[in-house]
């Protein structure tokens, strides 16, 4: 089977599986990450089948929506990949990328795995969390979790455990300081860094305008 047919079959599977997903984690998020991954891949020496399939399958089952089960995504991806006729080494590599992509695993002290394919897909996923789309996704997710937009009395907390963070009712603006504004310095690829710089500035401008409007200024 050809690479393009593997990609097409995966697109069908992902679209079907993500039907009804929350707006920040839906098929369109996957499509943006897939396109950005291929864009970044042009400047890197990578296996584009691994990049493409890992991008498509990276959020196939998010632990946030499965009682925190971190293994469900990689397991679902592997099960699907084994229905395609690709060699075991490639399947293993794609699953490793998916296991290691999340921001939280990169916050841990011991990154257990690295590859240029992981670098590309991780950057593409991070790019979709910042800039205008990043702002929209954050408020969408905050609304989904019934969180307020902003409360001047609740300061951002950079020292929350994963569990505390998941259950936190902190307003969405805090998420910018706890995660989104930190992403530009975590980019792996040169192209990713350049794009992130621009999107980072957009978020800074957004926050400035937000506080102006909040405080009755134009
Ligand atoms: P992804 O699955 O794409 O790697 P996450 O699952 O961490 O990213 O988050 C998905 C989207 O939801 C991101 O845009 C992120 O900023 C947003 N999000 C995650 N946690 C919060 C939060 N506590 N408050 C607001 N937005 C959040
Ligand atoms: Ni994602």
169: domain range? 129-218
Tell whether 154 and 177 lie within a shared domain. Answer: yes
In Å, the largest CA–CA distance within the chain is 61
Contacts (Cβ under 8 Å, ≥6 apart) of 85? 1
Number of domains the chain is built from: 2
Tokens of residue 168, six digits: 């936190």
Tell whether 110 and 187 lie within a shared domain. Answer: no
Tell whether 117 and 161 lie within a shared domain. Answer: no
Instruction: Report the CATH number at residue 65.
Output: 1.10.472.50
Q: Is the CB of 102 under 6 A from ligand 1?
A: yes
Tell whether 104 and 136 lie within a shared domain. Answer: no
The last residue of a domain, from among 92, 121, 150: 121
Could you give the ipTM of this predicted complex?
Answer: 0.94
Tell whether 36 and 136 lie within a shared domain. Answer: no
CB count within 10 Å of CB 108 equals 9
Element of type H or E holding 142: helix 131-144
Ligand 1 atom closest to residue 140's alpha carbon, by position in its atom list:
26
Q: Given this model, what pLDDT does residue 111 score?
A: 65
- Give residue-wise pLDDT tens across range 50-81: 999 999 999 998 776 677 777 889 999 999 99
User: In this structure, which ligand is nearest to the CA of 141?
Assistant: 1
What whole-number distance in Å separates Cα of residue 125 and Cα of residue 37?
Answer: 8
């Amino acid at each position: 089977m050809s690479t393009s047919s593997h990609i097409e079959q995966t697109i069908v599977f992902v679209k079907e599986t993500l039907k009804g997903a929350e707006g920040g984690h839906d098929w369109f998020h996957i499509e943006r990450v897939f396109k950005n991954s291929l864009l970044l891949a042009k400047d890197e020496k990578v296996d584009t089948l691994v990049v493409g399939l890992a991008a498509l399958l990276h959020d196939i089952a998010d632990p946030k929506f499965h009682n925190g089960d971190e293994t469900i995504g990689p397991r679902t991806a592997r099960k699907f990949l084994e229905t395609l006729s690709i060699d075991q080494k490639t399947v293993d590599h794609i699953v490793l990328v998916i296991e290691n992509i999340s921001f939280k695993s990169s916050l841990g002290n011991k990154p257990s795995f690295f590859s240029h394919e992981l670098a590309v897909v991780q950057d593409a996923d991070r790019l979709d969390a910042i800039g205008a789309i990043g702002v929209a996704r954050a408020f969408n997710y905050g609304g989904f979790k019934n969180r307020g937009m902003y409360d001047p009395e609740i300061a951002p907390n950079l020292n929350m455990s994963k569990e505390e963070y998941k259950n936190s009712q902190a307003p969405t603006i805090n998420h910018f300081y706890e995660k989104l504004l930190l992403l530009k310095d975590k980019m792996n690829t040169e192209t990713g860094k350049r794009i992130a710089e621009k999107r980072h500035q957009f978020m800074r401008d957004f926050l400035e305008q937000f506080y102006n409007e909040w405080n009755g200024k134009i």
